[in-house]
């Protein structure tokens, strides 16, 4: 997706330079939400202001919306078919495999510090314990707590890095 956007926006249309796009990708990776949406919004704004950003975002959302909505109309009936159900039993295996390996891959890519390793393991343990005792605690709170700890540990306590 990203390479597709790069090709279209930088090479074909010449709307932005490749460097600009790389900058946006860094921003997109540090802000919430799908990277494709972030890129569309940013590129749209750079080219035609707020109106452009609305249209670009709409443009990237619409195909998904149409495709998935069409599928959702008949999916409930579709899945009742024995063959389809069997195929989806297999696909479910793929999905859990993909989620787990994506998590592990992210962990391996992450810069290992005492904080990052402890926090990852601690979260897995806490979630496991909560699940065993059927207690719920919103995952959003965990993310917020992580952000708060990061702000204190890396923002306020850590020594200021010399400016480049």
Residue with the two structure tokens 């510090």:
113
Interaction of residue 21 with another protein, rule CB under 8 A:
no
**Residues near another protein (CB under 8 A), total:** 91
Structure tokens at 134: 């059927």
Q: Give Cβ neighbours of residue 136 (< 8 Å, ≥ 6 apart).
A: 130
Q: Is 29 in the site for another protein (CB under 8 A)?
A: yes
**Which of 13, 93 has the CB closer to another protein?**
93
Nearest to another protein of 18, 59 (CB atom)? 59
Q: Is 51 in the site for another protein (CB under 8 A)?
A: no
Which of helix, strand or coil describes residue 143?
helix
* CA distances, 155 to each of 31, 32, 147, 162 (Å): 18, 20, 10, 14
Footprint (CB under 8 A) of another protein, residues 102-161 = 102-107, 110, 115-117, 119-124, 127-128, 131, 136, 138-140, 142-143, 145-151, 153-156, 158, 160
Of 18 and 150, which has the nearer Cβ to another protein? 150
CB proximity list for 25: less than 8 A, separation 6 or greater: 2, 35, 39
């Amino acid at each position: 997706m990203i390479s597709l956007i790069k090709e279209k926006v930088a090479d074909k249309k010449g709307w932005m330079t490749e460097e600009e796009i790389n900058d946006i990708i860094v921003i997109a990776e540090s802000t919430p939400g799908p990277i494709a949406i972030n890129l569309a919004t940013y590129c749209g704004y750079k080219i035609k202001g707020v109106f452009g950003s609305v249209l670009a975002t709409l443009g990237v959302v619409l195909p998904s919306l149409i495709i998935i909505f069409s599928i959702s109309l008949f999916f409930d009936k579709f899945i009742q078919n024995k063959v389809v159900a069997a195929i989806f039993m297999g696909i479910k295996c793929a999905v859990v495999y993909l989620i787990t390996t994506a998590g592990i891959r992210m962990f391996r890519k992450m810069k290992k510090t005492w904080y990052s390793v402890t926090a990852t393991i601690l979260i897995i343990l806490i979630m496991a314990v909560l699940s065993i005792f059927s207690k719920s605690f919103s995952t959003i709170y965990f993310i917020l707590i992580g952000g708060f700890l990061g702000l204190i540990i890396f923002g306020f306590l850590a020594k200021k890095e010399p400016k480049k």
